[in-house]
Chains A and B, each alone.
Chain A
């Protein structure tokens, strides 16, 4: 399991263009017909511009190209939600983590509690690569819904 501490920092970064959008996947948004959703388009974040090569990948997939291990911080990108900058950790050629370095600040809350408003970056990463989990948290399902749930599959897989 990759840990941040174990990830080597690589100075000569191979640029990776990480595409992400400011919403959950399109098929996942049928219930909230908001203007926000319709206009959201993938926003490319270019990683260090002095890097030698650029590989554009529409969606990272398990069988897709592998990346050079290391941590890469993207350029600051001004979005309609504010400044966004992300750090991508690559381990074993795969995206291991995506962290917000600079994300829009919520001015409503008190100064001592910092809080990010981030796109669902993890969602996309997790869909691209099998997410291995022990248990699932979600809104309470009914007994009947459990039978169809991922938790039921996990329980059976473990038993």
Chain B
């Protein structure tokens, strides 16, 4: 276990419950700080996430997305969430000039809305928890983080952004409340992100982080911004409400002005 990165020791007295489950090829953690909220709602959130995983996985033969991609079912045959997610994909395809394209994001040409599903699911889980009365929680979906409220009264959540070249050190620490933090990079799963317009694999960035109000959009913008390379930094910085931090291939950090205000 690394000794350099640690949970805030002074806060260990605060009530917290953390649940961890494998989902969508990665691991989700829900850190809930509201002691009045029943565990049942966390169970409910995870049950719903497993349903989403089964429905949207492009790797599962029986998933609705796999069948839709093969043309054996239509959107109308699928759960209404499928239409919602595909509409979101279309929205992003337009907004990014085609850099994000759920139909062309994979080399094998399979339909893959994964660029938005994880973020979208996290936003929905936040709503499930909020309906149950939760106000202070942090969801970590394989490195994408949605932080709501405070870890304890008067303190923002402290989110570390991993150094892309060293898993046990950080490139930055930011303090956030009610914000989503998403990072894209090729250091964990290889060069799987491509610019759908050209099929090009980006190589001028090591990682790109996006911070903003929506996990859905932060996640998608991080994927797109990373695929755009250096231009992606300016592109994300131009989006209202979103800020960005990138580590370039030459080992420098580049970030927007608004991001600097979040630095711890």
Taking Cβ atoms with an 8 Å cutoff, the residues of A that contact B are 1, 22-25, 27-32, 34, 36-37, 40, 81, 97, 99-100, 106, 108-110, 113-123, 126-127, 130-143, 145-146, 148-155, 157-159
Contact = CB atoms under 8 A, between A and B. Distances in A.
Central interface residue in B2, B3, B140, B231, by most chain A CB within 10 Å = B140
Nearest to A138: B162
Given A131-B170, A133-B7, A140-B26, A115 B159 contact: no
A144 B189 CA distance: 11
B4 A139 contact: no
Contacts, number: 249
Contacts of B144: 137, 140
B258 to A, nearest CB: 9
A158 B137 CA distance: 13
B227 interface: no
A34 B13 CA distance: 47
Interface in B1-29: 1-9, 16-18, 20, 22, 25-27, 29
User: 3 nearest interchain CB pairs?
Assistant: A138-B162, A139-B185, A28-B165
State the main secondary structure of chain B at its contact with A.
strand
A64 to B, nearest CB: 15
Nearest to B249: A32
Interface stretch (B91-99, B103-111, B194-202, B232-240): B232-240
Contacts of B55: none
B62 interface: no
B168 interface: yes
Contacts of B184: 139
Nearest to A30: B165
Given A108-B231, A109-B237, 10 more contacts: A22-B251, A28-B169, A37-B251, A122-B171, A130-B3, A133-B170, A135-B29, A146-B22, A154-B7, A155-B29
Contacts of B26: 140-143, 146
Interface of B: 1-9, 16-18, 20, 22, 25-27, 29, 31, 118, 138, 140, 142-145, 147, 151, 155, 157-173, 181-189, 206-207, 209, 230-231, 233-234, 237-238, 247, 249-257, 260, 263-264
Contact of B171 (A30, A113, A123, A157): A123
B143 A141 contact: yes
A34 B249 CA distance: 9
Contacts of A132: 6-9, 158
B185 A134 contact: no
Given A115-B257, A134-B157, A139 B263 contact: no
B7 A151 contact: no
Nearest to A114: B257
A137 B122 CA distance: 14
Given A127-B4, A153-B2, A157-B6, A139 B183 contact: yes
